[in-house]
Structure formats: C-alpha cells, structure tokens
Amino acid sequence: MAKTAAYMQRGEALDYKNGTEEMIPAGTVVLVGKRIGVAGCDIPAGAVGTIHVTGVFEIQKKASVELKAGDNIVFTDADGIDKATSDVMGYAVEDAAAAAATAKVKLLG
C-alpha cells in the first residue's frame, strides 16, 4: 500500500512553540534537536512563532576557531559556531579568521 502525505508548509521557516518561560527575541539562534533555526520574530513564552531553518546567517562563533568556506559547523549555546565533527548543522560560506567574532553560515534546515 502506498504511503501518503499532506502538504503542510514550504519549510524554509517553521512554526516553533517557545516552551520556555522567557521571550525569545528575534534573531536568536534556537536549538531544535540536532538542528538550529533563527527566530524570525519575537516569540513570547508559551507562544508559537517562526524560526528560519534555511538561509545564510551571520552567527557568533567560538573564540579562536578558524573556519574555511565549506567547513561543516555545529552550534552550542555555550560556544556559538564551531567546527563540526558530528551532527552537522550547516557549513561556513566564507572564511572566518580565528580572531573573528562571527561566521557566515548556511543552515541545512
């Protein structure tokens, strides 16, 4: 028997329920399991808002980490963007020097 699917949304941005007791400000990087998204609007505590899960974003990176264009990346709340050894969340779209505070990365969705 064939499996069926019902179209829900395009997928570049997803509905996201803020399960915390704090507002998530627009532009905040949000961990979603082993993926990341970026809040597209302020999302009040307990409310549903939008997070962007594809696209290129400039995000704070771990101090002293040098990235080359194409390097796989991972994100943690503690360190920001870092080189990925597993659980790849995106890749660097341009070089970022070790002294740079941010990196431009493409999210994988």
Q: Which token pair is 6?
A: 């019902």
Q: Is 18 helix (H, G, I), strand (E, B) or coil?
A: coil
Model pLDDT, residue 90: 97
Q: Read off the pLDDT band of 2 (50, 70, 90).
A: confident
Q: In the chain, what are the domain boundaries?
A: 13-54, 56-108
The 10s digit of each residue's pLDDT in 61-95 is: 999 999 999 999 999 999 999 999 899 999 999 99
Q: What is the pTM of this model?
A: 0.90
Residue 90 burial (CB count, 10 A): 26
